[in-house]
Chains A and B, each alone.
Chain A
Amino acid sequence: MRLKKGPPDFILFITVMALLGIGLVMVFSSSFYTTYVQYGDDYYYFKKQLMWAILGILALIVLMKLNYLRIKDLAIPLIVLVVICLILVIPLGTEAKGAVRSLGVGSIRFSPSELAKLAMVLFLAKTMEINLDNIKSFAKGILPFLGLLVLICGLIMLQPDLGTSFVVAGTIFFMLLVAGARWSHLTVIAFSGIAAVAVAIAIAPYRMIRFIAFLDPWKYAQTDGFQTIQSLYALGSGGLFGMGLGMSRQKFFYLPEQHTDFIFAILGEELGFIGVFVVLALFLLFAWRGFRIAIKAPDTFGSLLAAGITVMITFQAAINIAVVAGALPVTGITLPFISYGGTSLLFTLAGVGLLLNISRYSN
């Protein structure tokens, strides 16, 4: 098969670079005080994030330039690698904040679940394309993917990491939707998913408390509602124009995870609703370009992959922002491109590389 090769989607690229730029600035702004106090170095997180951003852009370029037909070949090895890593992380991983999420030595950390999301999308795009004719059948077209979902999410839940499982599950769900699954099947899956989340909350007391605290954070202001309230304090202090870049007050040890999961709250505090609006608009722009690439992709695999990557990133962004705004319980997922977190940034940019690769072959 011969493909006509065009330029990559420039708007998407610019959008991503803008988000990445905002992210780097915000990582520095939100972390300089705490890192200065803790490590005596204002740039501690910023430098690491910058390094990962450069690595991520390299990965983006490599994947963008890769022969489109070769992408499909990556799917199987990657998913196998992911499964192995997810199993290995249980005995070998480093514990942080009550969960075992990363592999590695010293300060070089690698979170397999971040790779899992991208590998999943790739694998699904490949298998769904093959299985597209059966998509209307629950047993043949949907059940295998649900099995995969249970496997991957199950492994991630062992860490435990409900947030990432939720994003993975959501991505699979939306890919089934794109692939053309029946609405009735999708409805059943959605309700089952909600039920599964409810069970996950009910069986773990800490999740239960978090959930109750989510419903009335002010009542648990000093315990499980603390993060939500500090986050609302930050956002609420922002107003229209914000307190000014670097002028956040909540980052002074008040808001935990202020440079990772809750960076958006600091952004809202410093840059106000204007900043919030710009970031939301950039993500929506990203979604538009991503889905446009998916629609114009040269084949179903390309469509599914582009849609999958776009969904994966924007869905996670939406969940993160909802948590920050107190509309969802605290789950512990990052804001793509913006939050501090090396592996996450690397694989998000790698995903964008694939998106750009597909965009070059649009018709």
Chain B
Amino acid sequence: MQTTGLTVRKRIATLFFLFTLGFILLGSRVFWVQFVRGAELSEKALQNRMRDVPVESKRGIIYDRNGRELAISVSADSVYAIPAEVCRSGKERETAKKLAQILDMDEDQLYQRLTRVSSFEWIKRQIEPEKSKLIRNMELSGIGLTEESRRYYPKGTLASHVLGISGIDNTGLEGIDYYYNDLVGGTKGRIIIEHDAVNRPIPEATHKFIPPVDGANLILTIDETIQYITERELDRVFKERKAKSAAAIVMDPATGEILALSSRPTYNPNSFSDYPVSNRRNFAINDVYEPGSTMKITTAAMALEEKVVNAESRFFCPGYIKVGVETIGCPDKKPHGSMTFAEAIEKSCNVAFVQIGQKIGMENYYKYLNAFGFGKITGIDLPGEAAGITVPKERAQQIDLATMAMGQSNAVTAIQLITAVSAVANEGKMMKPHMVKQVVDNNGKVIKKIEPQLVKQVISPDVAKELCVMLEGEVTNGTGRQAYLEGYRIAGKTGTAQKVGPDGKYMSNENVVSFIGFAPSNNPHLVAIVVVDAPKGSLIFGGWIAAPAFKEIVKDVFHYWEIPMYNSAEIEETKEKVDKILVPDLVNLPLSEALSLINSRGLKAKINGSGNIVWQQTPKASSKIDRGAQVIIDMSPLEPKKGGEITIPDLQGKSIKEVAKILADLGLHLVPDGYGLAYEQSPVAGKIVSNGSVIKVKFQPVGE
């Protein structure tokens, strides 16, 4: 028998060695793929197979400082398509036709979207409930409905620039809704399903439901009533004077809380697309203007703080003053003659203020300009704040110092000026202006509390108080007489400033008029500013246009706050009346709301028992009691007593979820009808029913 040659056997052994090596290399390669790159590859593979369906979160509610709703979310159904599923049913045409009919859309366009290579297509967002019912009943394959929430601003144009707008994707686009979008918007949820390559869900696939996190609710510093008053006055001056734009801000000087903020022209955030985009500009914080004489408040503060003047310092005004080669004059070059510092403020004498500016000096002037926050943003929690413009220090000439001292050359925003003047009203302490007081979750728990923030002690308390008195003189005797309000001590300053035209020169025919002031001047509760850009008509002066609006705002706010007038017989009488207070109806209100009602009326509360809802109250609603008297409220026990009697609360204007929660807490059953906000209920509010009764509530969509 012939045996295999040695060479052949050697070669076979060599070959086996080569193959072994080859397999080891292959094994290493696979090992590398599976271990070194495994995590990355499997993640990518998973992403590749996942199909997302978004689940919208509900935007948080925006309340005013007293818990009144300024922005809410209402839900509506949206129609979407999963094109692959539609195509699989083979009824693309039919589906397109049916949907086009119901939704009033173009059939061919719809057909194209239904057959697109895409895993998910929105057909129409936020449709009417009847249509959503029709579509639901047709059970079209590949067509689905999902509840989406939509922003609704129940007060319409009120505080539109503050609240902002929200787009269809439930994101804030402007205002508070934009600035706090991360907080208010919540987090979108997702339904993730693993699909095969032709878009069918895989059997035993990975399903993930990431529930949406609803947005947090904001409690603003805005007071709806004050906002309303402010807007009413602003509207009037804006319309009467056919102004280009206008703004008004009311601020609490002690805390920096903005009580009202409004700009004109305005818009309705529910239908913002019907208005010019320019209407959405928030003049109060987005735009700068040359403040004019209102700026003299800060100049005066600097001079007093630096002790270059005192109340009795004398100035002489021949009608004009020369600064270098330039001449600066008082209006119409009318001489004011000899006057004290306090009188210079009352008369708003330019010549005197040029002299005061010169006494302060360039270095000190800029030190205080900076300290008062000019030329930089205040940091208010609204988007797009302008920084203002100051003459660069290194370029500033004597003439710049002179004009800056009387309020020209620098440009400020209304929010900057009111923040600076608030320092004067608040014993020299400048507070950071802010819009949001608290962030609360859906259970009423406070997530975040925004504390007043001191920016700087700009001037000493004594100087601030002294200046307050002088500014009061401006209103009683000076240019601000139109702001004088009987029974209250008001301090303030008018401003009428020239505008810089497009050519860089001052315009002869357009002015910015303004009034800034605070009251009561001995203990300021509020600072307010009214700015009107390019008003028309006669008497284009801050004292004649802005001051009256300011006065009306302060008058009504003080009535609303029930701030007593000082020293007059009639006033005493009024006070007596005011001090008898109507007890509000608290039954069935949540505790927090009840407490805020009691506090806002100057009453005290005594709480008995525990629970969330007021069960009964003593004295009864509508009885009259003394200011500061006690209202006893009994909280409903968690478990209502057997056969217990329940007073049906007023549900009007509440959403289904809220109604459901309120009734559930009371142990009542809800039979809802319709969708949107409650407008009718049976039995009616105030009726007493037994535990477990059925309450029928009709809802209707808002804005329709």
- State whether these chains interact: yes
Asked if B35 and A233 sit within 8 Å, CB to CB, the answer is no
Asked if A291 and B15 sit within 8 Å, CB to CB, the answer is yes
Residues from chain A with a CB closer than 8 A to the CB of B637 are none
Within 8 A of A (CB), among B320-350: none
Asked if B1 and A180 sit within 8 Å, CB to CB, the answer is no
Asked if B4 and A236 sit within 8 Å, CB to CB, the answer is no
Asked if A325 and B30 sit within 8 Å, CB to CB, the answer is yes
Asked if A287 and B3 sit within 8 Å, CB to CB, the answer is no
Residues from chain B with a CB closer than 8 A to the CB of A1 are 1
**Interface readout for B39-69 with A: 1 if CB under 8 Å, 0 if not?**
0111011101100000000000000000000
Query: Which listed residue (B8, B38, B42, B48) contacts A304, Cβ 8 A?
Result: B8
A239-B42 in contact given A33-B196, A287-B16, A363-B3 (Cβ < 8 Å)? yes
Asked if B16 and A299 sit within 8 Å, CB to CB, the answer is no
**Interface readout for B173-216 with A: 1 if CB under 8 Å, 0 if not?**
00000000000000000000011111010111000000000000
Within 8 A of B (CB), among A306-356: 307, 311, 314-315, 318, 321-322, 325-327
Q: Interface segment, B17-25, B123-131, B234-242, B405-413? A: B17-25
Residues from chain A with a CB closer than 8 A to the CB of B46 are 237, 249
A39 interface contact, C-beta 8 A: no
Asked if A288 and B16 sit within 8 Å, CB to CB, the answer is yes
Residue on A with the closest CB to B195? A252
A318 vs B49: C-alpha distance when bound (angstroms): 30
Query: Which listed residue (B1, B9, B38, B204) contacts A237, Cβ 8 A?
Result: B38
Asked if A232 and B1 sit within 8 Å, CB to CB, the answer is no
Residues from chain B with a CB closer than 8 A to the CB of A294 are 4, 12
Q: What is the distance, in angstroms, from B84's C-beta to the closest C-beta of chain A?
A: 12
Query: Which listed residue (B2, B34, B49) contacts A239, Cβ 8 A?
Result: B34
Asked if B35 and A239 sit within 8 Å, CB to CB, the answer is yes
Residue on A with the closest CB to B40? A236
Residue on A with the closest CB to B37? A236
A180 vs B548: C-alpha distance when bound (angstroms): 114
Q: What is the distance, in angstroms, from A254's C-beta to the closest C-beta of chain B?
A: 5
Interface of B is mostly: helix
A130 interface contact, C-beta 8 A: no
A295-B12 in contact given A236-B34, A327-B29 (Cβ < 8 Å)? yes
Q: What is the distance, in angstroms, from B263's C-beta to the closest C-beta of chain A?
A: 51
B5 interface contact, C-beta 8 A: yes
Q: Interface segment, A43-51, A191-199, A272-280? A: A272-280
Within 8 A of A (CB), among B418-477: none
Q: What is the distance, in angstroms, from A68's C-beta to the closest C-beta of chain B?
A: 12
A254 vs B197: C-alpha distance when bound (angstroms): 5
A3 vs B203: C-alpha distance when bound (angstroms): 59
B7 interface contact, C-beta 8 A: yes
A273 vs B26: C-alpha distance when bound (angstroms): 12
Residues from chain A with a CB closer than 8 A to the CB of B195 are 252
A132 interface contact, C-beta 8 A: yes
Asked if B20 and A238 sit within 8 Å, CB to CB, the answer is no
Q: What is the distance, in angstroms, from A9's C-beta to the closest C-beta of chain B?
A: 15
Asked if B45 and A234 sit within 8 Å, CB to CB, the answer is yes
Asked if A321 and B13 sit within 8 Å, CB to CB, the answer is no
A299-B29 in contact given A236-B38, A239-B35, A249-B202 (Cβ < 8 Å)? no
B642 interface contact, C-beta 8 A: no
Q: Interface segment, A59-67, A104-112, A171-179? A: A171-179
Asked if B5 and A307 sit within 8 Å, CB to CB, the answer is no
A272 vs B42: C-alpha distance when bound (angstroms): 12
Asked if B15 and A249 sit within 8 Å, CB to CB, the answer is no
A250 interface contact, C-beta 8 A: yes
A280 vs B197: C-alpha distance when bound (angstroms): 30
Asked if B15 and A178 sit within 8 Å, CB to CB, the answer is yes
Residue on B with the closest CB to A290? B16
Within 8 A of A (CB), among B602-616: none
Residue on A with the closest CB to B10? A180
Q: Which of B26, B30, B198, B203 has the most CB of A within 10 A?
A: B30
Asked if A273 and B35 sit within 8 Å, CB to CB, the answer is yes
B275 interface contact, C-beta 8 A: no
Asked if B41 and A237 sit within 8 Å, CB to CB, the answer is yes
Asked if B5 and A132 sit within 8 Å, CB to CB, the answer is yes
A29 interface contact, C-beta 8 A: no
Q: Which of A236, A252, A302 has the most CB of B within 10 A?
A: A236
Q: List 24 A-B contacts (CB under 8 A).
A: A33-B203, A178-B11, A233-B44, A234-B45, A235-B30, A235-B41, A236-B40, A237-B42, A240-B35, A249-B202, A250-B45, A252-B196, A273-B34, A287-B20, A291-B12, A291-B16, A295-B4, A295-B9, A300-B2, A311-B19, A318-B19, A321-B26, A322-B29, A325-B26
| A interface list, Cβ under 8 A from B | 1, 3, 33, 37, 132, 174, 177-180, 232-240, 247, 249-250, 252-254, 268, 272-273, 276-277, 280, 283-284, 287-288, 291, 294-295, 297-300, 302-304, 307, 311, 314-315, 318, 321-322, 325-327, 363
What would 8 more interface pairs be, CB under 8 Å, given A236-B41, A300-B4, A304-B8?
Answer: A233-B42, A238-B38, A273-B31, A280-B30, A291-B15, A294-B4, A302-B4, A303-B9
